[in-house]
Each structure stands twice: as C-alpha cells, then as structure tokens.
Amino acid sequence: MKYVSLVTAGFMTVAAPLAAQTDIEFWHAMGGRLGEVTEEIAARYNASQSEYNLIPTYKGGYEDTMTAGIAAFRAGQQPNLIQIFDAGAATIINAPGATIPVADLMAEHAGGFNSEDYIEGVRYFYADSDDKMIGMPFNSSTPLLYYNKDIFAEVGVDGPPATWEEFEEMAPKFADAGYQALAQSHSPWIFAENFHSRHNIQMATANNGYDSTDVEILYNNDALKMHWTKVKEWLDNGWYGFYGRAWGDNQDAFVQKKTAMWLGSSGSFGGLAASTDFAFGASYLPYWKSLTDEPYGTFIGGAALFAMSGKDEEENKGVADFLSFLASPEIQYFWHKETGYVPITNAAYELAKADGYYETTPDAEIGIIQLTQPGGEWTKGYRLGFYVQIREVMYSQVDNIFSGEATVDEAFATIEEEANALLDRFDATMN
Amino acid sequence: MKRVQFEHSPIPYLFIAPQIIIIVIFFLWPAAQAIYQSFLLEDAFGLSSQFVWFRNYTDTIFSDAWLQAAGFTLVFSALVTFLSLALALLLAVKANEVIQGASTYKTLLMWAYAIAPPVAGLMGNLMFNPLIGDLYAFMNTIGFDFDHKLDSVDAGFVVVLISVWKQVSVNFIFFLSGLQGIPKSVTEAATMDCKSSFRRFWTITFPLLAPTTFFLMVINITYAFFETFGIIDTTTQGAPGGATNTLVYKVFQDGFRGADIGGSSAQSVVLMVMVLALTVIQFRFIEKKVHY
C-alpha cells in the first residue's frame, strides 16, 4: 500500500504539471529569421509560466496561412490563434463569428484592454468601425525609402528626397552616373494604399470600407493617376527600375547597386544590413508637395493575430494570456530589435528610447515616427474584401502601364471596374 | 423471353473495390464537391452560405481576366504539346541511330525526367533573372530587346521554353522505346525499296509510331493544362498583365490565394468540362487514324 501511494505520488509530481497544461495552437507565417524570433518568443512564453503550452506552427506565406486557417475552420480544426495579413483582414473580420475580438478577449480574461496603449499608427487598422480592436497587430511594418550612401556621395547628392518633387530634381544625376534612381517592391502597398494615407486621400467609400461591405473603390482618382503618369515617365527616362513583381528581385537591384534608392518595408532593415556591402540609410516615404504641404502618417503593413472562435474558455484564457505577454514592453522591444518591425505599444517605444536604441541605430526609429505622423481622416486603414484579388488586378494593370499596353487612364478605369466587381461579389457573400 | 442470368461470385468485385474506393474518394467526391460549391456564394469561413444558381459562372467566366487566361492556355498548350513532341521525336530518332556511346546520349537526354515542374521553373527563373540570369543576358546580347517582366511575348517564350524542356525527356523515353519496337525486318525492307531516309521516316517509321504519338499527345495536353502550374507559379505568376496566366493557375489564385471558393469552384468545373470535351475529341476522331 505504501509502495502504491509512493508510485502514485511519483506519477503525480511528474504528470501533474503536464496534465494541467492547456495547449494553445498558434499558426503563423513567419519564415526564416522572423520565424526563429517567433519561436524564441514562444519559448520564452512557455518558460515564463506553467499553465499553458503555446505551440507555434509555421504554415507558409501569408496567403498559405490564411488558406490553411480557413480550411481548418471549415473542418472544425482551427487553431486558437492565427496570423492574418493586411489584405486578408476583411476576409476574417467580416466573417460573422469566425473570431473573438481581441479587445473583448483581453477585457474578459486579461484584466482589461485599452487601445490607447497602442501606438497611433497600429491602433485602428485591425479594428472595427467603432475602433474596437478585432486583431492584435503582430508584425507591423511601414514602407520606407532606403538609399545607398556611397552612390549619393559619388554623384554629389546630399540626402534622400523628402518629396517626389525633390526626387525628380536629383534623379537625372543618378542617371548621368549610370544608376537608376529608384526601384520599389510592392506597388499596390506602397504606390496605392499608402499613397492615399500619405496624402490623406480617401481610398474607398463607406469610410474606406470600415462601415460596410457595400463599398466602391476610389482608385480612379486624379492624384493617383498623376502619380502613376509620373512613375511611367521615370521608367521611360531610366530613373526607375522595374524588376518584376517579386519583392526580392527589386530589393536585389538595390543590393547590387543598380539603383540608388529602394522603397521597401521597415522590416527589411535587418535583411539589408546582412546583404549589402555599402553604407545605406533609411528615410521616410516621399510625398507630393503639390498634393499636401505636410505628409500624413502611413498605414501599417504586415499582419495581426486573430483569436479563432469555437474554442473552450480555458484555451481562450490562454490566448489572452499569451497576447498580454506578447504586448509587454520587453517582448515588443525584443521583437522590434530583432526584426525591424515597429513596437506596437507606447510603453515598448518608450523602453526602446530609454534604452538608447535609437541613438545607436537612428534608422530603426524612422518607421515608428512615420506611423505616428499626424493622422488624418483617411489614415486609419482600409477594409476591403477580396483585396488579395484587387491587388492582383493592380499588379497586372501596372504591368500594362509600364509596357505601354494601356494608358494610365485606361489602366485605372480597368482597376476601378474589376475591383468594384470583386467588392460587389464580396458583399454578396456576406448576406 | 427470359434473360439469361449467369451466376457469378462476388470475388471480382472485391478485387476491384480498392481501385473503385480510391476513385470515389479522390476523384468523384471532390468533383461532386466542386460542382456543389460552384452554385454557392459563401464567405471564406463557410459561415453564411446561399444558393446563387449560375452567378459564380457568369461572374468569373465572362471576366476579361478569365478569357485572357483561356486564350493563353489554348495557345500555350498547343505550343508546348507540339514543340515537346517534335523535339523529342527528333532527338529519339537521332539517338536511335547513334552507335558509339549510345547509352551516354540516351542517359543525358533522359535525366531531366526526374525534375519536378516547380524545380524546373525555379531554375528557369534564375536563368532569366534580369540581374544575374545568363539566358537573359544572352538573349539581350544576341540582339533581342528581351524583357519578360514586361513583354508578354517574351514572358510566354520563357514559360513555353521551360515547360518544353521539362517534358522533352519524358517524350524522348517513350519515342525511343517506340522506335526500338519497330521490327528490324521492316526497316531493312524499306531501306532496299527507298533511298531517302526522310521519306522512309514519314512513310514507315512515323505511322508505326502513331500509337505512341497519340498516347503522348494525350499525356502532353494534360501536362500543359495542369502540371505546368508549378512552372507558372515559380516564374511569371501570370505576369505581365495576366498574359501568362493559365486557367489552372487562375483557379489557384482565386481559390487558394483569394479565398473565393465559389468562383474558383465554378472555374474548376468549366475546366473539367473542357478537358472532358478535349479527351472525347481525341479518342473519337484522332484515335481513328491510329493503327495499332
């Protein structure tokens, strides 16, 4: 009898912590170095407490992860937490009851939630029309201008352009020295979505799509068409390099010194630092002085974490607990430093400042400053259904502008028509 | 009149059961699902669903993007099928005549067979990379203003080239074995009757290869329609301006990237019908000309 109880006691001590642990499934789209940092955060979380066991799983790129989540949800096998990217936000947020809003989840299980704790630029993008946060911003980036300091010194240009007017003045100097002035890696994101935010121009009806799915796109506007007319001119002048739609091919053109400047993501910083053999700097996304005297803040890119519905209370509690851990200043600062993504809370930003991080690496702060630049009526974000397909339409019409197969007017008329047909279809799926 | 009934045991059914079960689970059931889904308009998560008759069909098939993809798919499939068969036949005939080091030639021509389409696509993409690609540099050096990132003909050339390259070795293997199956006595008799090897080929060898050619044609059309997906995905992804988008790739883009399940199901059903029609045409009209 004594032995039996000893054996049982032995089992208890071993088994108890395991049995009491609740597994939390977390599907993400962070590969490579970003994936390693994500795994590291999960490991730290698991070490920090004993109640929950977070299981991070890499599911491929953004679209793959979303598709996997959708398929799993339809089969009743959804994870607790899933990372969904900006263009997919409308798909998951508009699906009635697919997720539990993080604001509600945190208020119920993590002792309150205050969206004011989050920095201005990330507060609204994944929120509903009443500013209630549905998804927790995770990897938040913003478009930045990177420039090759060596080439700038060689051709005698002092610093990066703040406006596109300045860019047009300096571009011939690069061309004379045998360089293209600029390349860019994501035309829908940088030269359409953020173009509207930067100049505080409305992107879609119904409050950029936040108020309703019955929405029309406003891309066929004079400001955007003016911009693209210019970009086509730059291309024809040899000021602008187009290396296809793949992100990396355009970044490589910058790394291989074909272009003096490159528009990429604030999250590209680490990758550039590792691959370039020249001094480079980061600067703000230029704007048109002719459209606005002062620039407005940009949208965040990247992705957010969504708590999927249909899970039991204990697991939801674990999700809330992990999200609080993730939003803590120390973890955010760690994430910011390791990846270049911006810290999402004011407290984390303050911590990075207090730690002197921006004194040693001032370029790391550019993204967060740009995100916190004055917000206007149209800088909160956008919520458009089937936006992945709309971006596809954008990509293909941009090709047509560049190849001369369509004029800027024709291309944007097509974009408007096809995007509205898609939005109409999306709206119909919601009834 | 009473019909004659034969008694037979259920054992044959048991033997074919595994095959039937596989067909039902992996082919019939998904096909039925696709047809069912193609009449529904649903949000991606399947939380709200409505029956919309043919809206998914009209929305997708009458769109410019779909028509463009359909046009490209037909041209692309015709080119890939014809070129990969023609090249493989030429190589097989020549390799069959080689006496010195025949097996080296054959092995070298065959080994691309082991390469999967996405891998072929990745390699091709690297060779046509504007910054480091040798073939890209070569095309521009010999005087073409080659830019597959913006020129739709150039982009088409890239995907056709890679698809043909990948498929030639498969066809080569079949043609070679077909050629070796032609009795020596026939070719020797022909050699006595006719001096021109060109004429001998078209009057004797080619007709005798007809069953192989027909089989390969069916295989190659299917390859060009479906399997080149991996090549498109790793090279152009349909660019520029949707000029190299194939129907299968568009199903993937809309369904797996864009979460439009109804629309992509409708496209798959149309594709299924197209391939069915093509197969019927092949077997009813072309096969009649084949002598086994």
**DSSP per-residue string spanning A5-34:** HHHHHHHHHHHHHHHHPEEEEEEE---HHH
Nearest to B44 among A95, A243, A393 (CB): A95
Q: Is the pLDDT of residue A18 over 60?
A: no
Contact A337, A266 (CB under 8 A): no
C-alpha span between B211 and B199 (Å, rounded): 20
Closest CA to A365 of A269, A273, A261: A269
Contact A219, A192 (CB under 8 A): yes
Contact A92, A99 (CB under 8 A): yes
Q: A344 CB contacts (<8 Å, ≥6 apart)?
A: A118, A119, A122, A137, A138, A140, A327, A332
C-alpha span between A253 and A88 (Å, rounded): 29
Question: What residues in A contact B45, CB-CB < 8 Å?
Answer: 70, 73-74, 92, 95, 98
Question: What residues in A contact B43, CB-CB < 8 Å?
Answer: 91, 94-96, 429-430
Per-residue pLDDT, A14: 46
**What pLDDT digit, counting tens, does each position of A80-115 carry?**
999 999 999 999 999 878 999 999 999 999 888 888
- The chain-wide mean pLDDT, for chain A, equals 91
Nearest to A400 among B43, B59, B241 (CB): B241
A292 CB neighbour count, 10 Å cutoff: 16
Q: Are strands A240-241 and A180-184 parallel, antiparallel or unpaired?
A: parallel
C-alpha span between B185 and B190 (Å, rounded): 9
Contact A393, B66 (CB under 8 A): no
Using the Cβ of B30 and the Cβ atoms of chain A, whether some distance falls under 8 Å is answered with no
Q: Give the nearest chain B residue to A252 (CA atoms).
A: B131
Q: Show the tokens assigned to A390.
A: 């709309």
**DSSP per-residue string spanning B264-283:** HHHHHHHHHHHHHHHHHHII
Q: Is the pLDDT of residue A189 over 90?
A: yes
Q: Give the nearest chain B residue to A76 (CA atoms).
A: B45
C-alpha span between B99 and B116 (Å, rounded): 31
Q: Show the tokens assigned to A34.
A: 């970003």
Using the Cβ of B63 and the Cβ atoms of chain A, whether some distance falls under 8 Å is answered with yes
With a CB-CB cutoff of 8 Å, which residues 164-223 of chain B face chain A? none
Contact A74 B46 (CB under 8 A): yes
Q: Show the tokens assigned to B268.
A: 């798959």
Question: What residues in B contact A66, CB-CB < 8 Å?
Answer: 259
Determine the average pLDDT of the residues in A42-64: 95
- Per DSSP, the three-state class of A261 is strand
Closest CA to A380 of A239, A208, A144: A208
- How far is the CA of A315 from the CAs of A19, A69, A135, A304, A338, in angstroms? 14, 17, 17, 19, 29
Angstroms from A341 CA to nearest CA on chain B: 24
Per-residue pLDDT, B1: 54
Instruction: Give the A:B interface size as CB pairs under 8 Å.
Output: 110
Q: Are strands A301-308 and A136-141 parallel, antiparallel or unpaired?
A: antiparallel
Is residue A74 exposed (0-12), middle (13-18) or buried (19+ Cβ within 10 Å)?
middle
With pLDDT > 70 as the criterion, what percentage of chain A qualifies?
A: 96
A114 CB neighbour count, 10 Å cutoff: 9
Q: How confident is the model at residue A339 (pLDDT cuts 50, 70, 90)?
A: confident
**What pLDDT digit, counting tens, does each position of A115-173 carry?**
889 988 788 899 988 889 999 999 999 999 999 999 999 999 999 999 999 999 999 99
Q: Give the nearest chain A residue to B243 (CA atoms).
A: A396
**What are the respective helix, strand and coil percentages of chain A, to the nearest 5?**
55, 15, 30
Q: How confident is the model at residue A11 (pLDDT cuts 50, 70, 90)?
A: very low
Question: What residues in A contact B128, CB-CB < 8 Å?
Answer: none
Question: What residues in A contact B59, CB-CB < 8 Å?
Answer: 421, 425
Closest CA to A231 of A377, A375, A366, A394: A394
Which residue ranges in chain B fall short of pLDDT 50?
none
Task: Give the domain ranges of chain A.
Answer: 20-141+300-371, 143-298+386-429
Interface test with B, best of A59, A240, A245, A396 (most B CBs within 10 A): A396
Contact A396 B242 (CB under 8 A): yes
Question: What residues in B contact A63, CB-CB < 8 Å?
Answer: 256-257
Q: B77 CB contacts (<8 Å, ≥6 apart)?
A: B221, B224, B225
Q: Is the peptide bond between B240 and the residue preceding it cis, with omega within 30 degrees of 0?
A: yes
Q: Which of A1-15, A18-32, A227-241, A292-306 is most confident?
A: A227-241
Question: What residues in B contact A391, CB-CB < 8 Å?
Answer: none
Interface test with B, best of A275, A418, A429, A430 (most B CBs within 10 A): A429
**At which residue do the structure tokens 């940088």 appear?**
A190
Per-residue pLDDT, A112: 84
Q: Which domains does chain B have, with CATH numbers?
A: 11-51 (no CATH), 57-289 (1.10.3720.10)
Using the Cβ of B161 and the Cβ atoms of chain A, whether some distance falls under 8 Å is answered with no
Closest CA to A32 of A423, A404, A340, A339: A339
Closest CA to B121 of B170, B81, B159, B78: B159
Determine the average pLDDT of the residues in A355-368: 92
**DSSP per-residue string spanning B183-223:** -HHHHHHHHHH---HHHHIIIIIHHHHHHHHHHHHHHHHHI
- How far is the CA of A92 from the CAs of A317, A405, B100, in angstroms? 21, 36, 65
Nearest to B45 among A64, A74, A256 (CB): A74
Q: How confident is the model at residue A12 (pLDDT cuts 50, 70, 90)?
A: very low
Amino acid at residue number B236:
T
Contact A395 B239 (CB under 8 A): yes
Per-residue pLDDT, B113: 85
Per-residue pLDDT, B173: 92
Angstroms from B71 CA to nearest CA on chain A: 16
Per-residue pLDDT, B273: 93
- How far is the CA of A179 from the CAs of A18, A369, A402, B190, in angstroms? 61, 30, 19, 65
CA dihedral B184, B186, B191, B197 (to 10 degrees): -90
Per-residue pLDDT, A418: 95
Contact B240 A399 (CB under 8 A): yes
Per-residue pLDDT, A35: 92
Closest CA to B159 of B226, B228, B220: B228
Q: How confident is the model at residue A7 (pLDDT cuts 50, 70, 90)?
A: very low
Correct CATH for A20-141+300-371 of 3.20.20.70, 3.30.365.10, 3.40.190.10, 3.40.718.10: 3.40.190.10
C-alpha span between A353 and A333 (Å, rounded): 10
Question: What residues in A contact B129, CB-CB < 8 Å?
Answer: 249
For the domain covering A143-298+386-429, report its CATH number. Answer: 3.40.190.10
**Any idea what DSSP says for residue A297?**
P
**DSSP per-residue string spanning A45-79:** HHHH-SSEEEEEEE-SSHHHHHHHHHHHHHTT---
Question: What residues in A contact B52, CB-CB < 8 Å?
Answer: 428
- For chain B, the residue count is 292
C-alpha span between B231 and B225 (Å, rounded): 12
Q: Give the nearest chain B residue to A68 (CA atoms).
A: B256
Nearest to A252 among B131, B150, B254 (CB): B131
Using the Cβ of B290 and the Cβ atoms of chain A, whether some distance falls under 8 Å is answered with no
Angstroms from B219 CA to nearest CA on chain A: 30
Q: How confident is the model at residue A32 (pLDDT cuts 50, 70, 90)?
A: confident
Contact B259 A66 (CB under 8 A): yes
Is residue B273 exposed (0-12), middle (13-18) or buried (19+ Cβ within 10 Å)?
exposed
**What pLDDT digit, counting tens, does each position of A282-307 carry?**
999 999 999 999 999 998 888 999 99
Contact A418 B237 (CB under 8 A): no
Amino acid at residue number A351:
L
Closest CA to A305 of A110, A69, A119, A111: A69
Domain A143-298+386-429 in the same topology as domain A20-141+300-371: yes
